[in-house]
Amino acid sequence: MLTANLRPFYPSIVSLLVLIVLRFAYGKWRLSFLSKRAGETGTACGVAANILTAAERPFNFLLNVLIVTVPLAWLPQAEVAEYLPFVTERFMDRLSVLTDHIQRSVFVYSVFWCLFNLSDTTNGLMLDVLEHMGLKPDESEGLDIEEQKAGEAIGTIMSAAVRALVVLIGLMIIVREWGYDISGFIASLSIGSAAVAFAAKDALANVFGSLVIILGRPFLVGDWIEVNGVEGTVEKITMRSTILRTFPQEVVHIPNSLMTNVPIINFTLRQKRRLSFTVGLTYDAEGEQLEKTVEAMRAYFAARPTVFDPDDIRVHFTTFADSSLNIDITVFTLATATKDFLNVRQQTNLDLMKIMQEQGVSCAFPSTSVYFATPLETKPKA
């Protein structure tokens, strides 16, 4: 008798039991999965672990709602009406539509809740994404503290923007699910956004320019750069401008929007620096002396540890100039910093002077020889 009375309620009872078992099994599987992937610190890591952590509360909330709404949707109207007279067929139809809307809305809400958690900078997956994009520098790179703080600030801004977008899209989908027309709201939002963007276009351009600088990393704090005719050392990168300290010690603020539209020369990133000059010898140097001098200079540069590529040394006698025999020298040195480069150049000049002394030649200086067609006669003094 009891079995016959409960038979119409079997779909509701079975759906309730299935959902309860599913919730219990999911909890057990989740704990087992995370414990197997726990690292040395005891915290689970990896993409799957991060997604499961972010989806824990949203998925539990979804299952709890389904446990209530699904059995209600499967209730037999005739049997329930015997105990509750107000449960008519029309009531059950409305209840079915209501539970359907609730289930859809809760599903959307749970999905976007999970995305909201994933977009938080405290989530491991978001940290990996930000580090891959260059928005959150890795501490192991040994970057400057100010640079790390700037990267973290940009990462936080990007995370906040993504989370706001997730909330807005999720809210719009849920509102549309309940049959409300949001076209007017979207239109007003677009008009307002356009007005704000137009009023703050320069500020927004600078903000996006700072994002481009952080992402592309054409330079870092402390680099020696030249941009738009201004040369100096980067002292700070803010959301509005990049601050340069020129060599005469002036402070120049360059808008970030300008930095993204003009060529940037980064001298710090050079792997080598060209050392090029001309040595002029006097015309009394003989050909053999000149040849030995060139070979001695070439051997000197080949033995120097500061030379970038010993196979790319150019020392050649090139020009019969007006008052000198010119030897052109071009080599690349590993000393890229200005102070180191000047020290290398000074030592090179001193060593080349010694080589010329050893070969018995001397440097020429601008001079002019005047020849007369007829010998000059000196008249005796009266």
- Across 77-86, 98-107, 147-156, 282-291, the highest mean pLDDT is recorded for 282-291
Over the chain, what is the mean pLDDT? 77
89 with 148, same domain?
yes
Tell me, yes or no, whether 313 lies in a domain.
yes
144 with 114, same domain?
yes
Q: What is the structure's pLDDT at 328? A: 93
- Domain ranges, residue 36: 2-189
The lowest-confidence range among 30-44, 159-173, 196-210 is 30-44
Tell me, yes or no, whether 368 lies in a domain.
no
Could you give the C-alpha distances from 179 to 96, 172, 182, 265, in angstroms and in order?
Answer: 16, 11, 9, 57
180 with 286, same domain?
no
Number of neighbouring beta carbons within 10 Å of residue 117: 22
- Across 29-33, 251-255, 337-341, the highest mean pLDDT is recorded for 251-255
329 with 261, same domain?
no
Q: In this predicted model, what pLDDT tens digit does every residue of 313-357 receive, in sequence order?
A: 899 999 888 888 899 999 998 888 888 888 999 999 999 999 999
| pTM for this model (two decimals) | 0.47
CATH of the domain at 250: 2.30.30.60
158 with 247, same domain?
no
CATH of the domain at 319: 3.30.70.100
Q: What is the structure's pLDDT at 206? A: 75
133 with 154, same domain?
yes
Q: What is the structure's pLDDT at 295? A: 92
- Across 116-120, 308-312, 335-339, 344-348, the highest mean pLDDT is recorded for 344-348
Tell me, yes or no, whether 56 lies in a domain.
yes
Mean pLDDT of 291-313: 88
Task: List strand residue ranges (DSSP E) for the chain, in order.
Answer: 224-227, 230-237, 241-246, 251-255, 264-266, 273-281, 314-320, 325-333
183 with 231, same domain?
no
Q: What is the structure's pLDDT at 210? A: 76
Tell me, yes or no, whether 213 lies in a domain.
no
Tell me, yes or no, whether 277 lies in a domain.
yes
Tell me, yes or no, whether 72 lies in a domain.
yes
Give the 3-state secondary structure of residue 10. Answer: helix
Q: What is the structure's pLDDT at 122? A: 59
Distance of CA 67 to the CA centre of its chain: 45
Q: In this predicted model, what pLDDT tens digit does every residue of 59-85 receive, in sequence order?
A: 888 888 888 777 777 666 556 665 666
Q: What is the structure's pLDDT at 138? A: 53
311: DSSP letter: T
278 with 161, same domain?
no
Task: Extract the tokens encoding 231.
Answer: 């040369």
232 with 321, same domain?
no
The rounded distance, in Å, linking the Cα atoms of 99 and 13 is 17
The rounded distance, in Å, linking the Cα atoms of 238 and 206 is 9
Q: Quick one: CA torsion of 332, 334, 339, 342, rounded to 10 degrees?
A: -30
80 with 178, same domain?
yes
310 with 232, same domain?
no
129 with 12, same domain?
yes
Tell me, yes or no, whether 258 lies in a domain.
yes
Q: What is the structure's pLDDT at 109? A: 85
pLDDT over threshold 50, residue 2: no
Q: What is the structure's pLDDT at 166? A: 82
The total number of structural domains in the chain stands at: 3
Q: In this predicted model, what pLDDT tens digit does every residue of 198-250 receive, in sequence order?
A: 555 667 777 777 777 777 778 888 888 898 888 898 888 877 788 899 988 88
Tokens 């002394």 belong to 357
